Each structure stands twice: as C-alpha cells, then as structure tokens.
Structure 1
Amino acid sequence: MLLSLAASRRVLFLGGKGGVGKTTVATATALAAADAGRRVLLVSTDPAHNLGHIWNRPIGPRAVRLAADLDALEIDPEASVRAHLDEVEGALRQLMPREMGGEIARHMRLSQDAPGMHEAALLERIAATVEQGLRDYDLIVFDTAPSGHTARLMALPELIQAWTEGMLHRQERSGRFDTALANFGRDEGLGDRIVGSAERAPAEGERRVERIRDILHRRRHRFAGLREVLRDAQRAAFVIVLTAERLPVLETVEFEAQLRGSGVQVGGLVVNRRSPGDAGEFLAARRAREEDHLAALAAALPDLPRIELPLQAGEIVGIDALRGFATQLA
C-alpha cells in the first residue's frame, strides 16, 4: 500500500503521534521510491529532527543528497519564523513612510511570539517547498510533526487564504473609494478641498498600493496551490503511522477526523512495531492486547487500507538497514 502510494502520487505526508516511528517509515519510503527511479525530496517538518540521526550525517534547511535520486532537508520552524518576519519587515519598510520605521520595528518584535505566527511561517515554507518541489522532483515525502500540530497546519491553508481574500477585497474597496472621492470632488467643483491626497497621490503612494496587491496575490496563489494539492487525492496522500496501543489508536481516529474536516483524505494506515506472537509468553500476551486495539481501529476506520510492520530486533540506521526495512512497506 505505502510503496504503491509513493509510486503513484506526487506528494506524500506521513504523520501520527510522536514516537511511533514516522521518520523511519517516511525515510524508508522515500529511499524505496528513489531506488525505483523517482526523483525524491524528503522533508522533515518536525522540530525534533531525526533524519540526521538515521543517516548519521547533518541535514539542514538546504537540500542535501543522501542517495541517488534522493535529497533531503529539514525545515527549521525558528528559522522559518525569522525569515518570514524579515520578509514582512522589509515589505513594510518599503510600503510605509520612513518616519514609521521605529513603529514597524516594535510591531515586528511583538509579532515574533504572536499566537499562530510559527504555524503561519512554517506553513508558508511548506507551501513554497511544495511549489518548488513539484517542479524539481517526482515525489515529495513529508515527515511531519506530531499529529496535533500537523492537524492545525492542515487546516491553515483554508484560513489564511480566506484572510488574504478579505485583505484583497478591502484593498480593492479602498481603491474604489479613493476614485469615487476624486470624481465626487470634480463633479461638485470642490477641487482640492474634497479630493485632497486621493487626487494628488504621489507616484510613490501608487507604488505602495501596487506592492501590497502583489504581496497579497502571491500569498493567495501560494496557499491556493497548497490547498489544491492537499485536497487532490490523485496527487497527494496522507498516511497515518501508529503503534497498536490504546492512545495511538485513539489519537489516530481523532486525527483522521480532523484531516477529513480540513478536506485532506487519509490514504492509509501503517501500524508499526507489531509484537510477534510466537516469541515467548510475554510478547504473545502483548500481541493479544494489540489485536484488541486494532479491532477498535478497524471498527472506527473500516475503509482505510492498512499495513502492519513487525517490531525490529535492532535500530534502523544507515542505508542498508533502511533498504531492508523498506521491503516490508508494500
């Protein structure tokens, strides 16, 4: 199921509760797709990056080559916020009068810790990565943050696009009001007393308005593109990774409902670290409890395909171990 999705989709998200093995599954999937001849970009959005640990090498915010046809990068949320704020501050300084510089700096300092700022900045980086990645790669595999954080991110494209549409609408209404005000002044013969700055607006002011419009249109296009990708089951799939335990199963059911509410369809489930039933009394008893949890999962999500991966004897580190693990992902 998982390798089939990796062979037929352009974007693959792997998410779930923290500590269930998302990074290992995502990495093995990306490597298998690259070994099959697809150009693959593996992206970590989890603040607790583990890609470098699996590959025994540093991986940062710029794409690095891990294997033939496989590149990887780690999105740093803090760096994304700083880059986002720097871009916003630069735009504001171009748009606003020079004497507002102190106020702009104060506003940006306060904005750094504003609710939702980290999520918005991270989402913009994800949107840009998808936009560029679809041009440069055949497949993008996202190793996402734990499910609660990712569920909020998946809902944001709709909210931010609606906010941007509202800003554009207000900006267009403001422009129409300035034009109407200028025409009213002419019709009434009141000249500069009514028209004022609306009619005598300098070229610099017009450029500011155009710059605002360009920024808003760019953001609308970028988030609309991400929303379309997330909702297109032919191009993208979201796979939830979990273990056969009570809390991961309950969280998976809630996570699937949250994703569905955001218009994101779940393509399947990966149950990781299944206990063997023939390796002693202790593990047999554990497997029996796992069967009960998986029965509850099947009752709650009966239509989702599912694969189960056995508990591994050792750690999965390095390319050979990943390739061996990937043979179980079909």
Structure 2
Amino acid sequence: MAYSSPMFQQLNGLSSNESKLARAFPLKAANESPQGFNLYGRFAFAGAVCCAITHGALTPVDVVKTRIQLEPEVYNKGMITAFRQVVAKEGSGALLTGFGPTAAGYFLQGAFKFGFYEANKAALIDYLGVETATKNRGAVYLAAAGVAEFFADIALCPLEATRIRLVSEPSFANGLAGGFARIAKEEGLRGFYSGFGPILFKQIPYTMSKFYFFEVALEALVKTTGKKKEELAPSTMTALNLGGGVLAGFAAAFVSQPADTLLSKINKTKALPGETTTSRLIKIANQIGIRGLFGGMTARFVMIGTLTAGQFAIYGDIKRVLGATQSVELAKV
C-alpha cells in the first residue's frame, strides 16, 4: 500500500518534506523506528498475541456461556451455579474444552483485526485528509474496524466452528486436531463456514463498537490527565487502556449478544437437507425469542469486559516494547 500524502510518506520508506501534516503526526526517522510493512507487521503480531492470551485465558467463562446459551433449561441458575454444574457433571477439565481452537483462532483473528484496523485507519485519513477525517473520526473508526473484522472472520470461522462443536458435544473429538479433521471429513468446507453469516453478524458490530468506544473513551480519559498522550508514563497508559477497554467491552458485548447466541446455536447441529443459513437463523430466533437471544448475558459481560480491557492493555504494551508507536491517532490533532 502506497500513501501519497506527506503525512504517510515515511510509512512507505520515503523521505518527507516538512509540512503541517507531518508536524501533526510526527514520525521518527526511518532508521530509528519500523516503517511500512515492518510497522504493520508489528501491529498484527501485537494484536495476535493479545487476542490469543485473553480469549485463551477466558476459555472457562466461554464454556459456561456457551452451555447457558445451548441448554438454558439445564443451566438456568446463573453463571456461578453453571460453573459448579459443569464441574460436577464433567470434571474441572471440561472448563478448558476448546482451548486449542480458541487460542489458535483468535491468534489469527487478532493479527488481521488489529493489523488491518491500523492500516485501514491510516488509509482512510490519507484519502479523506486530516481535517475531514478528524471531524468525522467516529466514522473513520467504525469503517476501519468493520473492514478489518470481515477479513479477520474468514480466518477465525473454521476454528470457531470447531470450538463450538467441542464445547457443545464433549465426545465429538479429542481436541483441536481431531475436531478439525472430523468436520473436514464429514462436512467439508460448508461445515466450517455454516456459521460465517452469524459470525459476521456478531463480530463486525462487536469490533466496530469495541474500537469506536475504546477510541472515544481513551481520548476522554487522556484529557482528564491534563497531558498529551505521549507525555504520559507507560504505567499510566496501561491503566488508561484498561479503563477504556472495560467501557468498550461492555458496549460491544451488549451490541453483539444476540448474534453470539445464534452462532452458538447454529454450530451445534448440522443443517437439514435444503435448509439455508438464513432460514436456520430465522427458525432459531423464533424458537428462543428475545429472552433466549440474550441468554448468558452476565457471563458475556464478564468475559467481554475483561478480555477487551486486557487486549488493549497488552496490545499497547507490546507495541511499546516493539517500538511500534507510530499509529495515527486523530484525537491528537
């Protein structure tokens, strides 16, 4: 990707003439910091690690949330009781069911999501111009996140389908490799992507909300310090990233909850002959109603609020360690 404006010429490894745009978004010299694909590769790696760690660590919560969604008649006494029910019935090891596909799937998804978000945001600002982009920065955040998540979901969907099958049917296979191989053999590509529509319906609004609310919340939190972002201590920035992540996580969890429930339901069973994904979604939604669509909301608030806060804190710290601190931030203007 080649940028034409002076603001981004250094990202292409080119020299930059001094200008108002360059001063608005100062970048270090090319020999002092990563640029171009090297820079965005670091963003992608930081995103992959933060997503794999947070989603993997919260596998037990995800297992319980999925059970509540799939069997509300059994797990109907709250999250804590559901934890106890799962352990009593299947042992504590059941809480780690699907850990392999969860960590692997979200490693890939995180790389695409965070890497493309940063690249898309920069490209949009380059296309619109700084002034227009700044005035419409909410739209820039939403568009950059939505496009990034679409490509991220292509990578995530097969592993997410495997995870849900393992959680909903503990006897289905022995871990990631076995589950993946069985779905490939018995159902083919359709089996992996039967939930692609629902996962887009879930993940795109979730990611758009997540990045939008995080950017807005972080901008407000930084203002309360009375300092510019680059003047804040690393520990302060970690704390602000955590706070902004919690707020963004709660908003994103609520927005995407109905689609998350439908995704769990549609991946539990195979499609009937002649049944389309759309018809299955409509049938499931009619069967469970509004209350059913929001089943497991408490567990998801805990899960999404925690992992979103953790993601942005870890992401920011890894970027700093890797020297990848040149992402364009409209709030600075």
Identify, as 1 or 2, the structure richer in helix. 2
Determine which structure has greater relative contact order: mean sequence separation of CA pairs < 8 Å that are 6+ residues apart, divided by chain length: 1
Question: Could you say which TM-score interval applies, normalised by the shorter chain?
Answer: under 0.3
Question: When the two structures are superposed, what TM-score results if normalisation uses the length of structure 1?
Answer: 0.22
From the CA coordinates, give the structure whose radius of gyration is larger: 1
